[in-house]
Chains A and B, each alone.
Chain A
Amino acid sequence: MKTNAWFLKGLKRLGRTEKYPNQMSAKEEKPEVNRNITTKFNRFKRSFYLYQIDSGTCGACNIELQALSTPHYDLNRFGIFFTNSPRHADALVIMGVYSEKMEKVLESAYGAMPSPKLIIALGGCAITGCGIGKHPKLSNKAVVSIPGCPPDPYAILNGIIKAKEVSSK
């Protein structure tokens, strides 16, 4: 009986995912695509796995990225998933400012990823340092930069889709 109640609640909430890209507003920050780097990739036509690393964030970018797997945004419908290991990742999402100890972690994670692989810089801190510090060195290799402090989940979704699409051409 109780199981049925849970099931019905789940059904009631099925229609909560929003259509994309209808919700993207005109004022939304647009991702910046680095055309010089993207031409190297052509393998991510179907699934696309992301591994995220927090180099020195305030926590807001982490939450906004995490929000993509919630009902409003539902990242999985685009064939994009989060993975818990860089060994299974196609893209490394870097968030936050440069910190000395995390630079080694970032390089190790990037080194552990199978090729072809790409980097996405998420948020002002990862792109420019946002006035708080320097950006991580690895952000220079980013295929797509998603600006904002923090970027809105739709802006992030747009950037990740762009990274997947551009790298598939």
Chain B
Amino acid sequence: MLYEKTLVKGHTQAVNTEVERNDTMFNFVYGPSAGGLTETVMFNMLTTGESIKNMSSDTSFKMRNMEVIGKKIDDVIPFIERINGPFSASHSIAFLSAVEDAEGIEVDKNVLMNRIIEIELERIRNHLHVTARMCEAAAFGVPYNSLFYLREKVNRIISQYAGHRYFFGVNKVARINSDFRGVSKSITGVERETRDIYNSLLESKIFLDRLQGNGVVTTLGCIGPAARGLGLRFDARKDSDSLPYRKLGFSPVVERELGGDAMSRLIVRFDEISKSLELIKKAEAELGSSVKPNARSRANGEGVGRVESPSGDTAYLVKLSNGRLKTIDMLSASSVNLPVFQKSTRNNVFTDFHFNWESFGIWISEIAVRFV
């Protein structure tokens, strides 16, 4: 139903047999615990020494079981927030949109606008994180530190408005515990400085050489910035009704000319930071004076919620029974983009691996999770 793909259950993808193994090739295992990786994941590369001929990944090392089935919705939210901390707002809002759809609740406009601001703040923070990690892979100290400085600044702004650096405890059914009025002023300086770093990075031929032609995506099976870097207009903000982005005149950032490499994903991310600021300003202008409380209308039903997380679509399909969670299915951006990333590494050299990996913004924590 959701892209015909729900939670990844197997987690171990076999090495593709399309590539014929010969005597010059050997398997190089990277992970599960290695210095260059933020999270636990194991990559098994078939290589001739420098060039990667094929790759598989095992994401099951940090598998977590979330005991949510049969629980009340308010008790489930803390678990959903902790599926992936950096995308906590996206996950909790997608889940709550599904619950509200199932319960038939009409959510107040103020709440929806505040939710848009939350997700856009999360996007700015994540894009700063991803681009900083790419600079780290190139050992570019000044932009790396500057971008991480800005990421920390955004984290503190979020903490100031939401009371938590990762939006834990902020979102509830049909309501929100924070008010983001005035946040655009705080974030404007961050955007200006990011633009300055971006322009400087584009002047560095050394940096561009590592990105151009690296990790070229040729398949249509990707979502998020990876798809938009390929020139595809895939964006849940445009396609989904869970949040009123269309009222804000949203149109996605699409990079048509660069052909889906790590460079195109970087450019999309930088442009999306400006776009997010624009959306925050518009959403802030739409905020009214008071938030109307909503009562729950029915305790049974099925609903879908879909939002655009910083790395792509995040969607939930839930069934409720007597106000409790009966079944839940999740589609995460990382589970869709991981196989695409694996294909894109073919014939790349290992030294370019990190640029490509970071450019996708994949989080293993939203893949290695099971609902029980």
Contact = CB atoms under 8 A, between A and B. Distances in A.
Do the two shown chains form a genuine complex with each other?
yes
Contacts of A67: 148, 151-152, 155
A56 B85 contact: no
B82 A58 contact: yes
Contacts of A130: 82
B327 interface: no
A133 B64 contact: yes
Interface in B31-46: 32-36, 38-40
B355 interface: no
Interface stretch (B55-63, B93-101, B337-345): B55-63
A16 to B, nearest CB: 6
A114 B65 CA distance: 34
Contacts of B83: 58
Interface in B49-93: 60-66, 78-79, 82-86, 88
Interface string B3-47: 000000000000000000000000000001111101110000000
Contact of A16 (B62, B63, B149): B149
Interface stretch (A36-44, A95-103, A157-165): A95-103
A21 interface: no
A102 B36 contact: no
A153 B156 CA distance: 11
A132 B166 CA distance: 17
Contacts of B363: 59
Contacts of B146: 9, 13, 71
Contacts of A153: 152
Contacts, number: 116
Interface string B264-282: 0000000000000000000
B200 A9 contact: yes
Query: B40, B200, B203: which has the most chain A beta carbons within 10 Å?
Result: B40
Nearest to B41: A54
B32 A102 contact: yes
A51 to B, nearest CB: 8
B136 to A, nearest CB: 10
Interface in B329-372: 363, 365, 368
Interface size class of B (residues with CB under 8 A): 35 or more
A85 B34 CA distance: 8
Contact of B85 (A16, A59, A71, A109): A59
B40 A102 contact: yes
A70 interface: yes
Given A58-B83, A67-B152, A84 B36 contact: yes
A59 B33 contact: no
A84 B129 CA distance: 20
Interface string A58-70: 1111111011001
A133 B65 contact: yes
A53 interface: yes
B158 to A, nearest CB: 12
A120 to B, nearest CB: 16
A153 B166 CA distance: 13
26 contacts: A6-B142, A9-B142, A13-B149, A57-B39, A57-B365, A58-B84, A59-B86, A60-B88, A62-B38, A63-B86, A70-B145, A70-B149, A71-B145, A71-B148, A84-B35, A101-B60, A101-B61, A101-B63, A102-B32, A102-B61, A105-B33, A105-B40, A109-B33, A132-B64, A132-B82, A150-B166
Closest 9 CB pairs of A and B: A84-B35, A60-B85, A70-B148, A58-B85, A56-B62, A58-B82, A54-B40, A10-B142, A59-B365
Interface of B: 32-36, 38-40, 60-66, 78-79, 82-86, 88, 129, 141-142, 145-146, 148-149, 151-152, 155, 165-166, 168, 200, 203, 363, 365, 368
